[in-house]
Amino acid sequence: MNQALKSDPSFDPHFLQSVTEGLGWAEKCLSSRYFYDDRGSELFAQIMKLPEYYLTRSEMQIFTEQSNLICQSLDIKADKLEVVELGAGDGSKTQHLLKQLLKSDAQITYRPIDISSGALSSLKQQMHTALPDLTIQILCGDYFEKLEQLQETVQQKLVLFIGSNLGNLDDTQAKSFIQRLSNTLNPGDYLMLGLDMIKPEQIVLPAYSDAAGITAEFNLNLLRRINRELDANFDLGSFKHVAEYQESEGFARSYLQSLKHQTVTLGASGDQFTFQQGEKIHTEISRKYSDELLAELIQGCQLTLERKFTDTKGYFADYLLQKS
Ligand SMILES: C[S@@+](CC[C@H](N)C(=O)[O-])C[C@H]1O[C@@H](n2cnc3c(N)ncnc32)[C@H](O)[C@@H]1O
């Protein structure tokens, strides 16, 4: 272990453990949760504006055109509602919903949770400008770890897990996450789950391999982060971004493919990893859903489907669920 790095306050031992484990597997992988350093968050903001990236536009249409309906579907008790958002990012869609909620008589507190402190501080600034009356309490950290903190308040909650964030988990992880999340909710609390729907390859694949190469840059930035924070020597020019999707399977997958036989050293641990020419590191999955898959996902989780909101093309769905 590199002692100088270890004493750096920004050193994250979980990141090191995740990278050494993932690159040690026969089929190498890196966790998508580490995409979002400051540069990663900036690149993701650019991805959301790309012509190929239909996900944000579709869900944005739901929030701009149906926030009123979403509010009407909520049975707010005691005139107080806590809106918790997991992986809030720039909160630009949520802003429309919050604006509507502020028109109600209820007292609204917004608690966005994100691992990116940069994303949270710009979100806070934007929300203050757009909605000066809103009470905001930001929480920086991993939502897998912060979930139990949700139980600290007894107020009725609307938990937002939108932007297809759940899609970054495989089916087993997604089911156990939803069960855990549901366990932190009280009867009458709501969960809004924003999921990308299964659809043909010619629509989905370009969203993960855009012509301008921003998604490739976003994926490669993960290696840049490992170089910087874990003292590695990845040559970014020796890896390329690859995206795959099959409609029958419903998973989009992103990889970083080694363009040559090479060995990379991770200074933080002293480990070396060898890559064959053409070998791929799996970096992200993006699960596409259907109503049937949603029903399987929430089965046994004490969550009832109240209403489904979709964009006009039916590309994206926000499911409003209530804890029973
Ligand atoms: C795909 S973006 C979605 C942003 C926003 N929800 C939206 O719909 O536009 C994912 C966001 O989740 C955050 N994130 C990813 N993994 C996280 C984790 N494990 N814990 C907390 N935040 C996470 C990222 O920093 C990023 O801001």
Q: Which of 115, 161, 196 to mutate to test the pocket of ligand 1 (most atoms within 8 A of CB)?
A: 115
Give dist(CA 287, CA 165) in Å, integer. Answer: 9
**What pLDDT is attached to residue 1?**
65
Give dist(CA 322, CA 292) in Å, integer. Answer: 18
Residue nearest to atom 7 of ligand 1 (CA): 163
**What pLDDT is attached to residue 297?**
97
Residue nearest to atom 3 of ligand 1 (CA): 163
DSSP result, 298-318: HTTTTEEEEEEEE-TTS-EEE
Where in 72-128 does DSSP place strands (E)?
Answer: 80-86, 107-114
- The answer to whether the CB of 98 is under 6 A from ligand 1 is no
Residue nearest to atom 23 of ligand 1 (CA): 87
- The answer to whether the CB of 88 is under 6 A from ligand 1 is yes
Residue nearest to atom 26 of ligand 1 (CA): 89
CA of 87 to the centre of ligand 1 (A): 3
Give dist(CA 202, CA 195) in Å, integer. Answer: 19
- The answer to whether the CB of 163 is under 6 A from ligand 1 is yes
Atom of ligand 1 nearest to the CA of 89: 27
> Which conformational region is residue 302 in: left (phi greater than 0), alpha (psi within -120 to 50 degrees), or beta?
left
Give the three-state DSSP class for 254: strand
CA of 194 to the centre of ligand 1 (A): 12
- The answer to whether the CB of 316 is under 6 A from ligand 1 is no
Domains of the chain in start order, with CATH, are 3-30+203-287 (no CATH), 54-197+289-323 (3.40.50.150)
- The answer to whether the CB of 161 is under 6 A from ligand 1 is no
Among 297, 299, 230, CA closest to 267: 230
Tell me the three-class secondary structure of 193-245, residue by residue: EEEEECCCHHHHHHHCCCCCCHHHHHHHHHHHHHHHHHCECCCHHHEEEEEEE
CA 147 to each of CA 9, 91, 151, 179: distance values in angstroms, whole numbers, following the listed order? 25, 19, 8, 11
CA of 287 to the centre of ligand 1 (A): 15
**What pLDDT is attached to residue 147?**
84
Residue nearest to atom 14 of ligand 1 (CA): 87
**What pLDDT is attached to residue 148?**
83
- Walk along the chain (324 residues) in steps of 10 and give the mean pLDDT of each run: 71 95 98 93 94 98 98 93 95 97 95 91 95 95 87 91 96 96 96 98 97 98 97 98 96 98 96 98 98 97 98 98 97
- For residue 263, with 0-12 CB atoms within 10 Å meaning exposed, 13-18 middle and 19 or more buried, which class applies? exposed
